[in-house]
A = this chain, B = another copy of it.
Amino acid sequence: MTSNFVKELTPQLIEWRRTLHALPELGFMEYITTYRIGKELEEMGFTIHVGKDALEKNSRLGLPNEAAITAHEEKAAEWGVEEPWLEKMRGGNTGLVATWDTAKQGDHVGFRFDIDALPINEATEETHLPSKNGFVSGEANVMHACAHDGHATIGLGVAKFISSNSDNLKGRFTLLFQPAEEGGRGARAMTDKGWLDDVDYFYSGHIGIHSMPVGTIAATTKGFLASIKFDVTFKGVSSHAGMHPELGKNALLAATTAANNLYGIPRHYDGVTRVNVGRLTAGSGRNIIPEDSYMEIEVRGETQDIGDYMAEKAKRIIKAAADMHDVSCTIEPVGVTEVLVCDEELIPKIQEWCESSEFVKEVLPSVPVSGSEDASLMMNRVQEHGGKATYMLFGTKLDYPHHHPQFDYEEDVLSVAVDTFVSIIKGGSSDV
């Protein structure tokens, strides 16, 4: 196997990353992103399973509204996504799975790369590199602010290695390019499709998160939070705010009262808690008592029990806020992530395999985080049938945190991450 593989691939990695960064797409609307990734993989020789073939559509959570989906499909068609591809994705069925079989006895190794962007307006300051170097997001209010452009790129790099070195490899490889990781909405649909059911080793990971320099990676992580996401709709009665305020039932006040109290759910002795009202919209016109309101909420907990505690308290608050203002409410679950536990026996293996890497300088055994990850659903599926799984980190300096309009990372981390997975494949799936 070529030792210079990743070094030679680096310019390509950067190009892939910047291309993806410049055209970010929100979860379940990654039509162009899926198409671009798929075309590359197809060319490499992978078997491609796109959209409805890649996921169990009824297991998707938190779909965008139909109007947004349709509008974006039209845009994708205009942009040039070929009709047969679009056909497979239509209705918010994005993402793809690429499989490779060496036809030689060996482990089934799975990788997951998430590909969706966030509803954030990317910064246009000159100090923001994507802006300075001309690959800033071309979409208003959509941005790759969580490095999934990089994750998809890493996936392409790993694929390239497998296709280029297939003769020296054994076993099977499944690469999941997952839609809608943000909000914990997409993993369940791919998991339920069965891709993980006989995977022996599963690897995923994230750029950044912990403060580690480029070249440092974490073999495992701990501390990912269980999370539960739901949408809330309040329905009251409108009325002329000047003439008849007493006839209205104010759905806005129900939402604001709920929001103010949600952040105050008591902290918990057993561990970390989180709560956020990420979006709130209410009302239709200035002089109308608001009839409708809507909130997007998520709660998290260090354990599943704490997550459940938070969800139960949140629901109690929401229902009481509705009662208080005499409006009705509905609470719709739209996403979930689980607590994840990495297999510690992978630590020494990863450390050993990465020893000869030119890119990986240091392998930390385990690093704490407090985000949420729906790769947890895939890992738990793998582990349930006896497979091993880990969620890794790839260090980079960050001037701004994830989900910030100026979020950016050092592109060198892309090569480090690809070489990490390449080293793992060489170590565990080498035929020679």
Contact = CB atoms under 8 A, between A and B. Distances in A.
Interface string A244-288: 111110101101110111111011111011101111111111111
A267 B283 contact: no
Nearest to A306: B246
B267 A245 contact: yes
Interface stretch (A40-48, A99-107, A295-303): A295-303
Contacts of A323: 316, 319-320, 323
A209 interface: yes
30 contacts: A118-B285, A118-B288, A119-B284, A119-B285, A120-B291, A238-B405, A240-B403, A240-B404, A242-B298, A242-B300, A242-B372, A243-B371, A244-B401, A245-B268, A248-B266, A252-B277, A252-B280, A253-B259, A255-B280, A256-B259, A256-B280, A257-B257, A278-B284, A278-B287, A279-B282, A279-B284, A279-B285, A319-B323, A320-B321, A324-B324
Contacts of A244: 269, 401-402
Given A239-B404, A263-B253, A296-B283, A246 B274 contact: no
Interface of A: 118-121, 141, 146, 182-183, 209, 225, 227, 229, 237-248, 250, 252-253, 255-257, 259-264, 266-270, 272-274, 276-291, 293, 296-298, 300, 309, 316-317, 319-321, 323-324, 326, 335, 369-372, 401-405
Contact of A243 (B120, B239, B269): B269
A71 B275 CA distance: 38
Contact of A287 (B183, B252, B290, B293): B183
Given A288-B120, A324-B324, A404-B238, A253 B260 contact: yes
Contacts of A209: 243
B283 A282 contact: no
